[in-house]
């Protein structure tokens, strides 16, 4: 049993499985700058970082108060991806563009909703670094006029390794339509982080590499203790 744990921990460590964007107090800037500092210090080794081989599309080119749309991340030219971290942001440069807007729902398996800027489910990311070609979830607008918005993502290609990623992958702008919409929609007032501290959604997705290393160390210590003492 201990050896199984040790083996699993070692395999996970070597392969670099991740449990998703480690939002939370350990990485206080992650929700805002969306830079994966656990991947080569946040410096992508991808060749053409200005031309990400990914598109982000929405099922509508406008949103209304409380309305929902489907957001899809797709690899182009046969490219796939292993990790992603996405938020909606205000697109009007005259407004605060650094906070997540609206909320995500219906995350498929192997993905998770995340809390950024003190708003639950305001970000969406992977929870397992499996290879994928396309993935979608629902995004719901807040009740107030946020002006035009766009989706912004960090996408980890993962090939040849996790140091290959793309920042600032953007959708087209989605404009606000004041005509329709749900009048009783909940009002969302994202809090601009002054302390920079964000709260994880559920128990806190941790950075699995360090967790794996810790697990491996604990398992190795226990295994050697058991073999010495022959229990």
Ligand X SMILES: *[C@@H]1O[C@H](CO)[C@@H](O)[C@H](O)[C@H]1NC(C)=O
Q: How far is the first Cα of the chain from the last one, in angstroms, to the nearest whole number?
A: 13
Shortest distance, position 146 Cβ to ligand X, whole Å: 15
98-106, 119-127, 172-180, 215-223 -> range binding ligand X (CB under 6 A):
172-180
Q: How far is CA 228 from the centre of its chain?
A: 43
Task: Look at the alpha carbons of 215, 219, 222, 225 in this order and tell me if their dihedral is positive or negative.
Answer: negative
User: Considering only residues 30-89, where is the footprint of ligand X by CB under 6 A?
Assistant: 62
# chain residues binding ligand X, by CB under 6 A: 4
76-84, 99-107, 174-182, 209-217 -> range binding ligand X (CB under 6 A):
174-182
Interface residue with ligand X, options 179, 183, 187, 195 (CB under 6 A): 179
Shortest distance, position 72 Cβ to ligand X, whole Å: 21
- Is 65 exposed, middle or buried (CB count within 10 Å of its CB: 0-12, 13-18, 19+)? buried
Q: Are the beta carbons of 151 and 86 closer than 8 angstroms? A: yes
200 to 77, 206, 214: CA distances (angstroms):
34, 9, 21
- 180 lines the binding site for ligand X (CB under 6 A): yes
Shortest distance, position 180 Cβ to ligand X, whole Å: 4
Shortest distance, position 171 Cβ to ligand X, whole Å: 18
Six-digit token string for 81: 């991806």
Say which DSSP state 127 is in.
S
Q: By C-beta, is 62 or 161 nearer to ligand X?
A: 62
Q: By C-beta, is 83 or 102 nearer to ligand X?
A: 102
Q: By C-alpha distance, which of 120, 134, 149, 136 is closest to 61?
A: 149
Interface residue with ligand X, options 49, 118, 177, 206 (CB under 6 A): 177
Measured distance CA(151)–CA(81) in Å, rounded: 17
82-90, 160-168, 177-185, 197-205 -> range binding ligand X (CB under 6 A):
177-185
Q: By C-beta, is 109 or 178 nearer to ligand X?
A: 178
Residue carrying the six token digits 């392969």: 15
- 145 lines the binding site for ligand X (CB under 6 A): no
Q: How many residues does the chain have?
A: 231
Q: Which residues bind ligand X (CB under 6 A)?
A: 62, 177, 179-180
């Amino acid at each position: 049993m201990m050896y199984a744990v040790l083996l699993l921990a070692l395999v996970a460590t070597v392969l670099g499985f991740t449990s998703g964007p480690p939002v939370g107090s350990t990485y206080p800037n992650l929700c805002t700058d969306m830079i994966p500092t656990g991947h080569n210090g946040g410096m992508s080794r991808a060749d053409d970082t200005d031309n990400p081989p990914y598109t982000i599309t929405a099922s509508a080119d406008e949103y209304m108060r409380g309305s929902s749309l489907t957001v899809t991340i797709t690899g182009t030219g046969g490219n796939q991806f292993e990790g992603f971290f996405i938020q909606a942001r205000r697109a009007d440069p005259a407004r605060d563009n650094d906070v997540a807007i609206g909320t995500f729902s219906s995350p498929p398996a192997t993905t998770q909703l995340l809390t950024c800027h003190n708003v639950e489910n305001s970000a969406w990311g992977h929870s397992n670094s499996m290879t994928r070609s396309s993935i979608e979830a629902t995004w719901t607008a807040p009740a107030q006029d946020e002006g035009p918005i766009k989706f912004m993502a960090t996408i980890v290609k993962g090939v040849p390794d996790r140091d290959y990623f793309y920042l600032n992958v953007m959708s087209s702008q989605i404009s606000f339509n004041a005509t329709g919409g749900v009048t009783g929609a909940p009002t969302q007032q994202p809090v601009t982080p002054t302390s920079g501290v964000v709260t994880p959604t559920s128990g806190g997705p941790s950075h699995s590499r360090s967790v794996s290393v810790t697990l491996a160390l604990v398992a190795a210590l226990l295994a050697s203790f058991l073999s010495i003492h022959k229990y």
